[in-house]
């Protein structure tokens, strides 16, 4: 028993040393991190990389939205091609699968212009099928790709506490895990290419029905004459507890519908999940209901609101 504990301790120390060696290796070689997509979440993620001591080259379609990052030490890439040519590791965080496909596979995009041996990490929630396509094309050119979507919204990104779900080659995951640890506290390797995106679909399917439930509960609390804040104190620590209940219901109570995650992007995610589920012959009635409600919400002009705006449908 004592010997087992000693061996376990030695193994932990060895693992930590390997991770630190990898991080040191990147820095010793003056690895440049490219980051494309400095939106609500991407901006905070870049800040964590800068605080981690990395040189970061950023690109965003609207440069003005990235000016604060430039003042904080990031370098500007004039185009995705420019970022690709200057970087050793490239992280992308954009909106839609179509954006991902153009960004990676276009003639002026990443794969056609990055260095051999470059590691590409797409943190956009996108299609598992597209992730595998990008991986195949990248592999043929000597480029490594990981699909690594995240969960945690603007709060998780700001606090460096994202959950990161990674698909791709295990060896490449181990190389960049110290980097990902700067962005999240729950960084899990899920399997081969596409597995990260499939895991994110599980995440979004869970959230979809949960968002309906927490909204209905809040409306019920208000209609029955209860104080929503005290109700929240009682149910968040019980069996009903969830991230959405703890982080989004307080915003609903305050009628704060600013986006931690856009309605329009959630609709995109739910459509990908539904398409993938149908391909596997899975019935998802909860997912279908949630998608229909969010599409109705978008038609009412709320596509750029946060996902918590779903309560507006129930309060009408």
For residue 126, which of 200, 177, 193 has the smallest C-alpha distance?
200
Out of 161, 200, 271, 312, the active site residue is 200
User: Tokens representing 285?
Assistant: 């009635």
Three-state DSSP class for residue 43: helix
- What is the full DSSP assignment across 141-171? TT-EEEE--EESHHHHHHHT-EEEEEEE-HH
For residue 306, which of 237, 240, 249 has the smallest C-alpha distance?
249
User: Tokens representing 65?
Assistant: 């939205």
| Greatest C-alpha distance within the chain | 65
- Annotated catalytic residue 63: no
For residue 93, which of 184, 28, 185 has the smallest C-alpha distance?
184
The 3-class secondary structure across 218-277, one letter per residue, is HHHHHHCCCCHHHHHHHHCCCCCCCHHHHHCHHHHHCCCCCCCCEHHHHHHHHHHHHHHH
Three-state DSSP class for residue 111: coil
Its sign, for the CA torsion 76, 57, 73, 62, is positive
Active site amino acids: 200
């Amino acid at each position: 028993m004592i010997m087992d504990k000693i061996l376990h301790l030695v193994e932990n120390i060895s693992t930590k040393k390997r991770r630190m060696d990898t991080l040191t290796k990147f820095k010793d070689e003056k690895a440049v991190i490219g980051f494309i997509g400095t939106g609500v979440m991407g901006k905070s993620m870049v800040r964590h990389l800068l605080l981690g001591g990395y040189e970061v080259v950023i690109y965003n379609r609207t440069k003005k939205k990235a000016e604060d990052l430039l003042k904080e030490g990031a370098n500007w890439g004039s185009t995705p091609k420019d970022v690709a040519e200057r970087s050793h590791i490239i992280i992308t965080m954009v909106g839609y699968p179509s954006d991902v496909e153009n960004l990676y596979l276009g003639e002026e995009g990443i794969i056609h212009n990055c260095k051999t041996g470059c590691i590409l990490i797409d943190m956009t929630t996108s299609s598992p099928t597209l992730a595998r396509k990008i991986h195949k094309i990248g592999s043929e050119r000597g480029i490594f790709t990981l699909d690594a979507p995240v969960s945690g919204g603007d709060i998780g990104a700001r606090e460096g506490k994202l959950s990161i779900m990674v698909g791709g080659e295990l060896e490449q995951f181990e190389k960049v895990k110290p980097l990902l640890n700067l962005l999240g506290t729950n960084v899990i390797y899920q399997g081969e290419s596409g597995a990260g995106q499939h895991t994110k679909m599980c995440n979004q399917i869970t959230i979809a029905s949960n968002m309906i439930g927490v909204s209905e509960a809040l409306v019920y609390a208000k209609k029955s004459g209860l104080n929503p804040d005290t109700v929240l104190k009682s149910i968040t620590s019980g069996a009903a507890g969830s991230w959405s209940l703890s982080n989004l219901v307080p915003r609903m109570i305050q009628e704060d519908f600013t986006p931690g995650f856009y309605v329009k992007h959630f609709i995109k995610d739910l459509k990908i999940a539904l398409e993938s589920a149908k391909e596997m012959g899975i019935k998802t009635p909860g997912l279908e209901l949630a998608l229909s409600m969010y599409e109705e919400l978008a038609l009412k002009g709320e596509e750029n609101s946060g996902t918590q705006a779903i309560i507006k449908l129930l309060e009408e």
